[in-house]
Structure 1
Amino acid sequence: MDKILVPIDGSPTSEHAAERAIDVAKKYNSSLTFLLIAKKPEIIGTGSGGTGTIFGSKEYIDELKEEQEKTMKHFIEKLDLEGIQHNQVVLLGEPYEEIIELAEKDNYDLIVMGRRGFSKITRFFLGSVSQRVLSGAPCPVLIIPEKAD
């Protein structure tokens, strides 16, 4: 198991999943890729002057990506990555699609990700990123539940 993809969102659940991924990487001498995905906005808003602003504009997207890179940096600083080869990727798009696409494109051996604590009914109606990744991933997926405190 050479390459492990670790999608994160900055939540305590994704931090817990990252810790488990680190354990696996240490055991198998694997490299880790931490992936943070911001859903690309496609909203048109109206300013006070009545003119529309497309929040999917280049300026807004650049600002959003910069914020996500800061989130990633702060997230990574909390982890004990000593001796582990790792890199960071920040993307914009539909989270489950970007995870599956990157896993396929770069031939990852394992995806380790957290599962949000939605109720079964909410998951049925809304679906979840982890369930969609599990259904479409080209490699095994390890879903880590919320950490019990």
Structure 2
Amino acid sequence: MKKIILLTDFSWNADHAIEYAMQWFDSKYTQGPLDFILVHVAPGVPAIPTYPFLTSLVSTEDLLKEETEQLHAVCAHFSSKYPHFRFREMLIIGKAVDSICSMVRQEHPDLVVMGTKGFTGLTRMIMGSTTLEVLKKAHCRMLIVPSGATLDLPDKVVIGANHLTADQMHILNPVRQMVEAWNPELEVVRVITPRELDDVVDDVVVQRVEHFVNSKRLHFTTLQHVSAEDGLEEFIEAQKANLLVLIGQERGFLLNLFHHSVSKEMIIHARVPVLILHTQEWEVTGERAEHDHEAEHSVALESGSFID
């Protein structure tokens, strides 16, 4: 059974991301039974710093009761809309990033789905705090869905292949599943910067991708650009792509791309979902080690599914 983590903070953006992901799985994106876990991370203390006199009126127990009820409501909504799938709930008490990373290590999910807000004004600061920190620390497949993404299935997919090697074809298994389910057009792109002009495209990689993905709508493009991030952004815009697939093993490029896009309010964070694949699943980086003692104090409360 494949396990899908659906993160929610009860916002419209979280619901939108879950709905987007459900379009994939409702269209036979993958075969076999699926286990959807709706996860909400709640702080362990009341978050009312501006009005200290109110803290005595609102207890942690009251807040958790309210958030549990909200989680029940979200689960009931999606269970009713997709009765052929199984949903269950998990309420985690702790710090968001550390709790999510700890859960990934314990649950071994096949995919984690997160929503993000648009990037204008103050919302740029909001995205950086949780999504980027999880990207830094959690090594698992992630689907990041911006608020501007449509609910259409991807029909033009760009795959950033700067760091794909010939022995890593298994990473592209989700792409092969897309081909079998929807047969989208695939654009595998490699952006060469001036300091990489001497790099040679590995023909073995090209041949193995062609064989593994097995799509007649597969194309390869090599671009020269002063910035790998700018080059990829411009290619996505020109191709009118509606999904970007990135290989997450190269932490620097991945994080630079996200920081770069946020700072320039570029298209990736406006409307294009990003699927991040990893060579090694369910791991966390060494950065997380210093926070392990905090994550250990998080508590997960799980309730049953709304459907049998």
Give the TM-score of the pair, scaled to structure 1.
Answer: 0.77
Q: Which residue of 1 aligns with 2:10?
A: 10
Give the corresponding residue for 2:25: 25
CA distance in 2, matches of 1:63, 1:132: 29
Q: The residue matched to 2:36 in structure 1 has which SS? A: strand
Displacement of 1:77 after TM fit?
2.9
> Secondary structure of 2:20's partner?
helix
Inter-partner Cα distance in structure 2 for 1:61 and 1:147:
34
Match of 2:62, SS?
helix
Supply the AA of the counterpart residue of 1:72. L
Question: 2:63 aligns to what?
Answer: 64
The share of aligned pairs that are identical, in percent, is 24
Distance 2:111 2:73 in 1: 24
Distance 1:147 1:13 in 2: 9
- Aligned residue pairs total 142
Question: Matched residues in 2 for 1:70 and 1:97: separation?
Answer: 23
Aligned CA distance change for structure 1 residues 85 and 10 (closer, same or farther; 3 Å): same
Q: CA deviation at 1:78?
A: 2.7
Shift in Å at residue 123 of structure 1?
4.1
Verify the 8 A CA contact 1:25 1:84 in the aligned structure 2.
Answer: no
Structure with bigger gyration radius: 2
Are residues 2 and 64 of structure 1, via their aligned partners in 2, closer, same or farther at CA, if it must alter by over 3 Å?
same
What CA distance in whole angstroms lies between the structure 2 residues aligned with 1:34 and 1:108? 12
- Cα distance, 1:117 vs. partner? 2.4
Equivalence map 1:29-108=2 (5 Å):
29-41=33-45, 47=53, 60-79=59-78, 80-108=81-109
RMSD, aligned CA: 3.0
Which amino acid in 2 is paired with 1:41? V
- Using the TM superposition, name which of 91-100 and 103-112 deviates more: 91-100
How big is the shift at 1:69? 0.9
Is the contact between residue 65 and residue 91 of structure 1 (CA under 8 Å) also seen in structure 2?
no
Q: CA deviation at 1:120?
A: 8.2
Is 2:46–2:60's contact at 8 Å kept on the other side of the alignment? Answer: no
1:67 Cα deviation from its structure 2 partner:
0.6
Which residue in 1 is equivalent to 2:272?
none
Structure 1 residue 92 displacement after superposition = 1.7
1:134 Cα deviation from its structure 2 partner: 1.7
Task: Report the CA distance between 1:46 and its aligned residue.
Answer: 5.2
Structure 1 Cα separation of the partners of residues 15 and 89 of structure 2: 14
After TM superposition, give the deviation of residue 86 of structure 1 in Å. Answer: 1.6
Q: Kindly tell me: are residues 120 and 137 of structure 1, through their superposed partners in 2, closer, same or farther at Cα, counting changes over 3 Å?
A: farther
Compared with structure 1, are the counterparts of its residues 42 and 73 closer, same or farther at alpha carbon in structure 2 (3 Å cutoff)? Answer: closer
SS of the aligned residue for 1:9 comes to coil
CA distance in structure 1 between the aligned counterparts of 2:18 and 2:122, rounded to whole angstroms: 27
Other-structure match for 2:115? 114
Residue 117 of structure 2 aligns with an amino acid whose one-letter code is: R
- Give the gaps of 5 or more residues in structure 2: 151-308
Q: 1:120 to 1:62 in 2, by over 3 A?
A: same
Structure 1 unaligned residues grouped into runs of 5+: none
Deviation for aligned residue 1:16: 0.9
Question: What one-letter code is carried by the residue in structure 2 that aligns with 1:30?
Answer: L
Conservation of the 8 A alpha-carbon contact between 2:4 and 2:111: yes
Q: How many angstroms does 1:25 deviate by?
A: 3.5
Give the 3-state SS of the residue equivalent to 2:139 in structure 1: coil
2:94 and 2:8 map into 1 onto residues whose CA distance is 14
